[in-house]
Structure 1
């Protein structure tokens, strides 16, 4: 696929484009994608048009969004339930960012390696993830499968394959590995209200120090908690982050599930998006990519 096409497809399925659609009922990137990828848009509503653009993504350019949206649909919505399981994305852990994290009773990091990625940073990413999460799995394509099997043969890391049909096949089950858990790393992932809640629970009060010393004092207290206990509190705090309106979210089409889940939608946002998806006319594009 040409660079121009890949840039366009990357832009269409982003939170910025979704926000433009919700707030303005229009997006240059979206309209340009219709003109480029939909052979006949006459009489089709936006839900149908988005589905056709997404089909191009699936068939010709399986980028990170395609992987993330697939794993959210297949695992969070297909295997688990959003009422009992929380999904997180782009979680900074050490010097790496976890692509996708699922938390129910336990937590697992999914590091995504698409056909467009290389495996150069994989070892350092895995090392960082194990400092805060005890299960790690790589979601990848058939082309990377053999190389990953060799590299991860004697490790606790799991391997999942996103097949050409769009299904997820587990080739190597992830094993629990807690030896590298690091309370300093876990603390840095937590938000202020999250670590304050844990500290109050275990010590009865928050540090009575200056604002300048406060963060350091909180981290010092957190690091005094037994590692296994601290990890359970850490995971419980992260699990509370996933708050969506299930009834409204269930109405979102498959292609947009990931975007909407992580866009912090309010009731009015769902209403506006629903109205847009039903529309059959697109405002003429004023500027093309």
Structure 2
């Protein structure tokens, strides 16, 4: 592994679930301190610099790499699409939501359910057509966001109804092609597979469909029989309303307002309890001088 690849791997680890959850649980992260030291980030900032400022420095380095990773793309979608166009009181985001045998990198729920598949410089397009087909069975709209180098390959791998976004070298999202809704591709049973049972029952209530009165062991079988007969377009509306409530980000809004851009995707993806906010905020406001003692 080259020196550049090692640096990229270490930078990516700074934004991992294990580091984020250490901060949330204890207000400190020995992993962060070790990685910052190994990357020599402390030599690039004054001793009075905060952990938050070092996260931002690491993120700028990660974003400037020739081979950007998925986290950089997630940050662009969170900042420019979720927070740039929507309100967390009326919109929500789900990271890695299952659809068939695939997982959509990001699903944004507003007036409709829109899946986003990330194809970074580090990814291949081998599975793309299968992934998109899985998403189209569940979500009304599908976008693929890729690097400029992948744009042509993505366009030739997916149908004209799939939207294309490009993350430019300046880390701005450029719309190559808008997505449009294709209700005929949505399969109610595929939607059911993506839902937890309480969510599926709420969908039925919203559609004024009688909820099965059967033992838990038979519930999924009964739900399959009912969902198979549902109208795809009506189902999509109930799906959006249900998920916006069950997986809402509204409680996170005060925390997201205070976090740097570099940490917002982690806060959304690795959800923490409200009681852990204080630990996280305390940790990232610590100075690097203090952070060095965490190891």
Normalised to the residue count of structure 1, the TM-score between the two structures is 0.91
Aligned to 2:15: 13
Distance in structure 1 (CA, Å) of the matches to 2:106 and 2:40: 29
Partners of 1:90 and 1:98 within 8 A in 2: yes
Match of 2:257 among 250, 255, 258: 250
More helix by share: 2
1:136 corresponds to 2:145: no
Distance 2:31 2:170 in 1: 27
Asked if 1:272 is matched to 2:279, the reply is yes
Q: Quote the RMSD (CA, aligned, Å).
A: 1.9
Q: Specify the SS of the correspondent of 1:10.
A: helix
Distance in 1 (CA, whole Å) between partners of 2:144 and 2:207 is: 35
Q: Is the 8 A contact 1:37 1:53 kept in 2?
A: no
Provide the residue aligned with 1:31 in structure 2. Answer: 33
SS of the aligned residue for 2:44 comes to coil
For 2:151 and 2:258, the matched residues in 1 are separated by 35
Q: What does 1:220-259 align with in structure 2 at a 5 Å threshold?
A: 220-240=225-245, 241-245=247-251, 246-259=253-266
Residue number among 69, 73, 77 corresponding to 1:67 in the alignment: 73
State the SS of the aligned residue for 2:96.
strand
User: Number of residues paired by the alignment?
Assistant: 285
Query: 2:268 is matched with which residue?
Result: 261
CA distance in 1, matches of 2:79, 2:206: 35
Moved more, 79-88 or 244-253: 244-253
Q: Which residue matches 1:85?
A: 91
Q: Does 1:282 align with 2:275?
A: no
Preserved contact between residue 26 and residue 283 of structure 1 (Cα < 8 Å): no
In terms of mean alpha carbon deviation, does 154-163 or 23-32 score higher? 23-32
Of 23-32 and 61-70, deviating more is 23-32
Q: Does residue 182 of structure 1 match 2:182? A: no
Deviates more, 1:225-234 or 1:121-130: 225-234
| SS, match of residue 249 in structure 2 | coil
SS in structure 2 of the partner of residue 78 of structure 1: helix
Q: Can you list the C-alpha shifts for 1:45-69, whole angstroms capped at 9, x where unaligned? A: 1111111111111112521111111
Aligned partners of 2:255 and 2:271: how far apart in 1?
12
Q: Note if contact 2:104-2:135 (Cα within 8 Å) is conserved in structure 1.
A: yes
Q: Give the structure-2-normalised TM-score.
A: 0.89
Secondary structure of 2:169's counterpart equals coil
Write the mapping of 1:22-171 to structure 2, written as runs, cut at 5 A: 22-35=24-37, 36-38=39-41, 39-41=43-45, 42-60=47-65, 61-152=67-158, 155-171=160-176
Alignment match, 1:192: 197
**Structure 1 pair 100–166 and aligned structure 2 pair: CA distance change class (3 A):** same
Q: Would you say the 8 A contact 2:162–2:178 is kept in 1?
A: yes
| SS of the residue 1:119 aligns to | coil
Once residues 250 and 14 of structure 2 are traced to their aligned partners in structure 1, the CA distance between those partners, rounded to angstroms, is: 23
Partners of 1:136 and 1:158 within 8 A in 2: yes
